[in-house]
Amino acid sequence: MDELPEVAEAAEPRVSLAVALLVGAFLVATSCGTRESAAVKPSQYATQVLADGAVGYWRLDEQQGQRAEDKTPFANHGIIRGGVMFRQTGATLADGDSAIFFNGRTGVITVESKDSLRMGNGALTLEAWIKPAAIQTGEAMIVCKGTSGVWTEYGLALMEGVPGYQSIAENYKVPGGKTVDVGVWTHLAVTVSKNSVLNFYINGVDAGSVTAITNHVITSSTQPLTIGGEAVQTNMFMGAIDDAAVYDHPLTAAQVAQHFAAAATKGSRP
Protein backbone atom coordinates (compact mmCIF):
# COMPACT_ATOMS: atom_id res chain seq x y z
CA MET A 1 0.00 0.00 0.00
CA ASP A 2 1.35 3.44 -0.94
CA GLU A 3 2.35 5.56 2.01
CA LEU A 4 0.38 8.72 2.56
CA PRO A 5 2.38 11.92 2.06
CA GLU A 6 3.48 13.64 5.20
CA VAL A 7 1.45 16.69 6.12
CA ALA A 8 2.81 19.43 8.34
CA GLU A 9 0.85 19.78 11.54
CA ALA A 10 -0.83 23.12 12.01
CA ALA A 11 -1.14 24.79 15.39
CA GLU A 12 -4.48 23.84 16.96
CA PRO A 13 -6.65 26.79 18.06
CA ARG A 14 -8.11 26.66 21.55
CA VAL A 15 -11.86 26.05 21.70
CA SER A 16 -14.22 25.82 24.58
CA LEU A 17 -15.23 22.40 25.90
CA ALA A 18 -18.85 23.00 24.85
CA VAL A 19 -17.91 23.79 21.26
CA ALA A 20 -15.59 20.77 21.12
CA LEU A 21 -18.37 18.48 22.32
CA LEU A 22 -20.81 19.86 19.75
CA VAL A 23 -18.33 19.42 16.91
CA GLY A 24 -17.49 15.91 18.07
CA ALA A 25 -21.15 14.93 18.22
CA PHE A 26 -21.72 16.28 14.70
CA LEU A 27 -18.75 14.37 13.30
CA VAL A 28 -19.85 11.09 14.92
CA ALA A 29 -23.38 11.44 13.58
CA THR A 30 -22.14 12.29 10.09
CA SER A 31 -19.65 9.44 10.11
CA CYS A 32 -22.21 6.89 11.27
CA GLY A 33 -24.67 8.05 8.63
CA THR A 34 -22.05 7.69 5.93
CA ARG A 35 -21.15 4.16 6.98
CA GLU A 36 -24.78 3.11 7.05
CA SER A 37 -25.54 4.48 3.58
CA ALA A 38 -22.44 2.83 2.15
CA ALA A 39 -23.15 -0.58 3.67
CA VAL A 40 -23.30 -3.40 1.16
CA LYS A 41 -26.20 -5.81 1.49
CA PRO A 42 -25.32 -9.48 2.01
CA SER A 43 -25.25 -11.34 -1.28
CA GLN A 44 -28.12 -13.74 -1.79
CA TYR A 45 -26.20 -15.24 -4.71
CA ALA A 46 -23.06 -15.92 -2.66
CA THR A 47 -25.13 -17.36 0.18
CA GLN A 48 -26.80 -19.78 -2.23
CA VAL A 49 -23.51 -20.92 -3.78
CA LEU A 50 -21.93 -21.61 -0.40
CA ALA A 51 -25.05 -23.32 0.95
CA ASP A 52 -24.99 -25.71 -2.01
CA GLY A 53 -21.49 -26.90 -1.11
CA ALA A 54 -18.98 -25.22 -3.42
CA VAL A 55 -15.39 -26.38 -2.82
CA GLY A 56 -14.02 -23.35 -4.62
CA TYR A 57 -15.82 -20.03 -5.08
CA TRP A 58 -14.12 -16.93 -6.45
CA ARG A 59 -16.36 -13.83 -6.48
CA LEU A 60 -13.73 -11.95 -8.51
CA ASP A 61 -14.65 -8.69 -6.81
CA GLU A 62 -11.04 -7.75 -6.05
CA GLN A 63 -10.24 -4.09 -6.63
CA GLN A 64 -6.48 -4.52 -7.07
CA GLY A 65 -3.55 -6.78 -6.25
CA GLN A 66 -2.71 -10.38 -7.11
CA ARG A 67 -4.89 -12.42 -4.75
CA ALA A 68 -8.20 -13.95 -5.90
CA GLU A 69 -9.95 -14.96 -2.71
CA ASP A 70 -11.79 -18.25 -2.39
CA LYS A 71 -14.89 -17.69 -0.25
CA THR A 72 -15.19 -21.34 0.83
CA PRO A 73 -13.61 -22.82 3.99
CA PHE A 74 -11.13 -24.68 1.75
CA ALA A 75 -9.20 -21.44 1.12
CA ASN A 76 -8.27 -22.25 -2.48
CA HIS A 77 -7.00 -18.73 -3.08
CA GLY A 78 -5.63 -17.86 -6.51
CA ILE A 79 -2.92 -15.64 -7.97
CA ILE A 80 -4.01 -13.05 -10.55
CA ARG A 81 -1.53 -12.75 -13.40
CA GLY A 82 -1.09 -10.87 -16.67
CA GLY A 83 -3.56 -8.68 -18.50
CA VAL A 84 -6.67 -8.17 -16.38
CA MET A 85 -8.85 -5.19 -15.49
CA PHE A 86 -10.55 -4.93 -12.11
CA ARG A 87 -13.76 -3.21 -11.04
CA GLN A 88 -15.87 -4.30 -14.00
CA THR A 89 -19.64 -4.11 -13.56
CA GLY A 90 -20.59 -7.52 -12.20
CA ALA A 91 -23.31 -10.00 -13.09
CA THR A 92 -25.17 -10.05 -9.77
CA LEU A 93 -27.36 -6.96 -9.63
CA ALA A 94 -28.61 -7.28 -6.06
CA ASP A 95 -25.25 -6.93 -4.27
CA GLY A 96 -23.20 -4.64 -6.51
CA ASP A 97 -20.47 -7.26 -6.89
CA SER A 98 -17.78 -6.37 -9.43
CA ALA A 99 -16.00 -8.64 -11.93
CA ILE A 100 -12.62 -9.07 -13.64
CA PHE A 101 -11.92 -8.63 -17.36
CA PHE A 102 -9.39 -10.98 -19.00
CA ASN A 103 -7.54 -9.80 -22.11
CA GLY A 104 -7.52 -13.15 -23.95
CA ARG A 105 -3.72 -13.31 -24.13
CA THR A 106 -2.04 -13.22 -20.72
CA GLY A 107 -4.75 -12.63 -18.13
CA VAL A 108 -5.36 -15.66 -15.92
CA ILE A 109 -5.93 -16.69 -12.30
CA THR A 110 -3.95 -19.70 -11.10
CA VAL A 111 -4.99 -21.80 -8.09
CA GLU A 112 -2.71 -24.44 -6.58
CA SER A 113 -4.01 -28.00 -6.87
CA LYS A 114 -5.42 -29.29 -3.58
CA ASP A 115 -7.40 -32.36 -2.57
CA SER A 116 -10.63 -30.35 -2.45
CA LEU A 117 -10.27 -29.53 -6.16
CA ARG A 118 -9.40 -33.07 -7.31
CA MET A 119 -12.56 -34.89 -8.32
CA GLY A 120 -12.00 -38.59 -7.76
CA ASN A 121 -15.64 -39.69 -7.61
CA GLY A 122 -16.64 -38.91 -11.21
CA ALA A 123 -18.94 -36.03 -10.25
CA LEU A 124 -18.73 -32.23 -10.25
CA THR A 125 -20.30 -28.93 -11.22
CA LEU A 126 -18.55 -26.00 -12.88
CA GLU A 127 -20.30 -22.64 -12.83
CA ALA A 128 -19.58 -19.04 -13.83
CA TRP A 129 -21.02 -15.84 -15.21
CA ILE A 130 -19.32 -14.71 -18.42
CA LYS A 131 -19.46 -11.62 -20.62
CA PRO A 132 -17.45 -12.43 -23.78
CA ALA A 133 -15.87 -9.57 -25.69
CA ALA A 134 -15.98 -11.56 -28.95
CA ILE A 135 -16.65 -14.99 -30.40
CA GLN A 136 -13.19 -16.53 -30.28
CA THR A 137 -11.91 -19.23 -32.60
CA GLY A 138 -10.98 -22.54 -31.01
CA GLU A 139 -11.44 -23.03 -27.27
CA ALA A 140 -11.57 -20.34 -24.61
CA MET A 141 -11.31 -21.81 -21.11
CA ILE A 142 -13.45 -20.22 -18.41
CA VAL A 143 -12.75 -22.49 -15.42
CA CYS A 144 -10.48 -25.50 -15.85
CA LYS A 145 -8.02 -27.70 -14.03
CA GLY A 146 -5.05 -28.84 -16.03
CA THR A 147 -2.87 -27.62 -18.86
CA SER A 148 -2.97 -28.03 -22.60
CA GLY A 149 -5.43 -30.74 -23.55
CA VAL A 150 -4.08 -34.10 -22.39
CA TRP A 151 -3.48 -32.75 -18.88
CA THR A 152 -6.92 -31.22 -18.48
CA GLU A 153 -8.80 -32.78 -15.58
CA TYR A 154 -12.00 -30.80 -16.20
CA GLY A 155 -12.98 -27.54 -17.86
CA LEU A 156 -15.90 -25.23 -18.62
CA ALA A 157 -15.17 -23.53 -21.94
CA LEU A 158 -16.50 -21.76 -24.99
CA MET A 159 -15.83 -23.68 -28.19
CA GLU A 160 -16.19 -21.35 -31.16
CA GLY A 161 -18.53 -19.41 -28.90
CA VAL A 162 -20.62 -22.46 -27.90
CA PRO A 163 -20.63 -23.49 -24.20
CA GLY A 164 -18.84 -26.79 -23.70
CA TYR A 165 -16.86 -29.12 -21.46
CA GLN A 166 -13.23 -30.18 -21.97
CA SER A 167 -11.34 -33.08 -20.43
CA ILE A 168 -8.26 -34.98 -21.61
CA ALA A 169 -8.60 -35.09 -25.42
CA GLU A 170 -12.39 -35.01 -25.37
CA ASN A 171 -14.75 -32.07 -25.71
CA TYR A 172 -18.51 -31.85 -25.60
CA LYS A 173 -20.66 -28.91 -26.66
CA VAL A 174 -24.15 -27.84 -25.69
CA PRO A 175 -26.53 -29.71 -28.01
CA GLY A 176 -27.72 -27.49 -30.83
CA GLY A 177 -24.52 -25.47 -31.03
CA LYS A 178 -25.96 -22.03 -30.17
CA THR A 179 -23.31 -19.44 -29.39
CA VAL A 180 -23.53 -17.16 -26.36
CA ASP A 181 -24.27 -13.47 -26.78
CA VAL A 182 -21.32 -11.07 -26.95
CA GLY A 183 -21.17 -8.13 -24.57
CA VAL A 184 -23.84 -9.34 -22.14
CA TRP A 185 -23.73 -11.44 -18.99
CA THR A 186 -24.67 -15.11 -19.33
CA HIS A 187 -24.80 -17.70 -16.54
CA LEU A 188 -23.26 -21.08 -17.44
CA ALA A 189 -23.13 -24.35 -15.54
CA VAL A 190 -22.24 -27.92 -16.41
CA THR A 191 -22.65 -30.95 -14.17
CA VAL A 192 -20.99 -34.36 -14.47
CA SER A 193 -22.32 -37.53 -12.86
CA LYS A 194 -21.12 -41.14 -13.02
CA ASN A 195 -18.06 -39.87 -14.91
CA SER A 196 -20.07 -39.94 -18.11
CA VAL A 197 -23.32 -37.93 -18.06
CA LEU A 198 -23.04 -34.18 -18.65
CA ASN A 199 -25.88 -31.69 -18.17
CA PHE A 200 -25.54 -28.13 -19.46
CA TYR A 201 -27.42 -25.07 -18.20
CA ILE A 202 -27.64 -21.58 -19.71
CA ASN A 203 -29.19 -18.77 -17.66
CA GLY A 204 -30.67 -21.27 -15.22
CA VAL A 205 -32.40 -23.35 -17.90
CA ASP A 206 -31.56 -26.93 -18.92
CA ALA A 207 -29.70 -26.67 -22.24
CA GLY A 208 -29.34 -30.39 -22.90
CA SER A 209 -27.32 -33.40 -21.86
CA VAL A 210 -24.58 -35.55 -23.36
CA THR A 211 -23.44 -39.06 -22.49
CA ALA A 212 -19.70 -39.40 -22.95
CA ILE A 213 -18.26 -42.26 -24.98
CA THR A 214 -15.59 -42.94 -22.33
CA ASN A 215 -15.51 -43.20 -18.57
CA HIS A 216 -12.81 -40.62 -17.92
CA VAL A 217 -14.73 -37.37 -18.28
CA ILE A 218 -12.95 -36.41 -15.05
CA THR A 219 -9.38 -37.58 -14.53
CA SER A 220 -7.74 -36.56 -11.26
CA SER A 221 -4.45 -34.72 -11.60
CA THR A 222 -2.12 -32.43 -9.69
CA GLN A 223 -2.31 -29.69 -12.32
CA PRO A 224 -3.43 -26.22 -11.15
CA LEU A 225 -6.94 -24.86 -11.50
CA THR A 226 -7.20 -21.75 -13.63
CA ILE A 227 -9.79 -19.10 -14.40
CA GLY A 228 -9.68 -17.20 -17.70
CA GLY A 229 -7.46 -19.61 -19.62
CA GLU A 230 -4.87 -22.32 -19.10
CA ALA A 231 -1.77 -21.97 -16.96
CA VAL A 232 0.48 -22.26 -20.01
CA GLN A 233 -1.32 -19.31 -21.63
CA THR A 234 -3.24 -21.27 -24.24
CA ASN A 235 -6.99 -21.25 -24.92
CA MET A 236 -7.32 -17.89 -23.17
CA PHE A 237 -10.70 -16.24 -22.58
CA MET A 238 -11.34 -12.65 -23.66
CA GLY A 239 -14.04 -10.90 -21.67
CA ALA A 240 -15.31 -10.54 -18.12
CA ILE A 241 -15.86 -13.40 -15.67
CA ASP A 242 -17.75 -13.24 -12.39
CA ASP A 243 -18.58 -15.65 -9.55
CA ALA A 244 -16.71 -18.74 -10.74
CA ALA A 245 -17.42 -21.86 -8.67
CA VAL A 246 -16.51 -25.54 -8.49
CA TYR A 247 -18.46 -28.25 -6.66
CA ASP A 248 -17.51 -31.88 -5.99
CA HIS A 249 -21.04 -33.05 -6.83
CA PRO A 250 -23.64 -32.33 -9.51
CA LEU A 251 -26.07 -29.56 -8.67
CA THR A 252 -29.71 -30.28 -9.41
CA ALA A 253 -31.61 -28.38 -12.07
CA ALA A 254 -33.55 -26.65 -9.30
CA GLN A 255 -30.36 -25.50 -7.59
CA VAL A 256 -28.93 -24.05 -10.82
CA ALA A 257 -32.19 -22.22 -11.43
CA GLN A 258 -32.08 -20.84 -7.88
CA HIS A 259 -28.57 -19.52 -8.46
CA PHE A 260 -29.62 -17.70 -11.61
CA ALA A 261 -32.67 -16.23 -9.88
CA ALA A 262 -30.57 -15.12 -6.89
CA ALA A 263 -28.50 -12.88 -9.16
CA ALA A 264 -31.66 -10.82 -9.83
CA THR A 265 -31.30 -10.79 -13.59
CA LYS A 266 -33.73 -11.63 -16.36
CA GLY A 267 -31.69 -13.43 -18.96
CA SER A 268 -28.56 -12.07 -20.58
CA ARG A 269 -27.99 -8.39 -19.91
CA PRO A 270 -25.33 -5.69 -20.46
Q: Are strands 124-132 and 238-247 parallel, antiparallel or unpaired?
A: antiparallel
pLDDT at 153: 87
List, for residues 246-266, the tens digit of each pLDDT value: 999 999 999 999 999 999 754
Q: What sign has the CA pseudo-torsion 250, 148, 228, 136? A: negative
pLDDT at 150: 56
Q: What sign has the CA pseudo-torsion 172, 177, 181, 187? A: negative
List, for residues 172-194, the tens digit of each pLDDT value: 999 999 999 999 999 999 999 99
Q: Which residue has the higher pLDDT, 47 or 9?
A: 47
pLDDT at 13: 36
Name the band, by pLDDT with cuts 50, 70 and 90, for residue 241.
very high
Q: Are strands 225-227 and 124-132 parallel, antiparallel or unpaired?
A: unpaired
DSSP 93: G
**157: β partners:** 141, 164
Name the band, by pLDDT with cuts 50, 70 and 90, for residue 41.
low
Answer yes or no: is 185 within a domain: yes
Answer yes or no: is 199 within a domain: yes
Q: Give yes or no for a contact between 177 and 164, defined as CB atoms under 8 angstroms apart.
A: no
Residue 151 is part of a domain; what is its CATH number? 2.60.120.200
Q: Which residue has the higher pLDDT, 269 or 111?
A: 111
Answer yes or no: is 28 within a domain: no
HEC string of 47-72?
Answer: HHHHHCCEEEEECCCCCCCCEECECC
From 132, 130, 169, select the one nearest 148 (Cα to Cα): 169
Number of domains in the chain: 1
List, for residues 121-162, the tens digit of each pLDDT value: 899 999 999 999 999 999 999 999 987 555 678 999 999 999
C-alpha distances (whole Å) from 254 to each of 68, 95, 250, 260 are 29, 22, 11, 10
114 vs 75: CA distance, rounded Å = 10
- Whole-number percent of the chain with pLDDT over 90: 66
Task: Tell whether the model's pLDDT for residue 267 goes beyond 70.
Answer: no
Answer yes or no: is 147 within a domain: yes
pLDDT at 4: 33
pLDDT at 51: 97
Mean pLDDT over 3-9 rounds to 34
Answer yes or no: is 182 within a domain: yes
pLDDT at 23: 32
List, for residues 213-237, the tens digit of each pLDDT value: 777 788 878 889 999 999 888 899 9
Answer yes or no: is 119 within a domain: yes
Mean pLDDT over 99-119 rounds to 96
99 vs 237: CA distance, rounded Å = 14
Task: Tell whether the model's pLDDT for residue 34 goes beyond 60.
Answer: no
Q: 216 lies in which domain range?
A: 44-262
Global confidence as pTM: 0.83
Task: Tell whether the model's pLDDT for residue 268 goes beyond 60.
Answer: no
Answer yes or no: is 267 within a domain: no
pLDDT at 231: 84
List, for residues 68-90, the tens digit of each pLDDT value: 999 999 999 999 999 999 999 99
Answer yes or no: is 20 within a domain: no
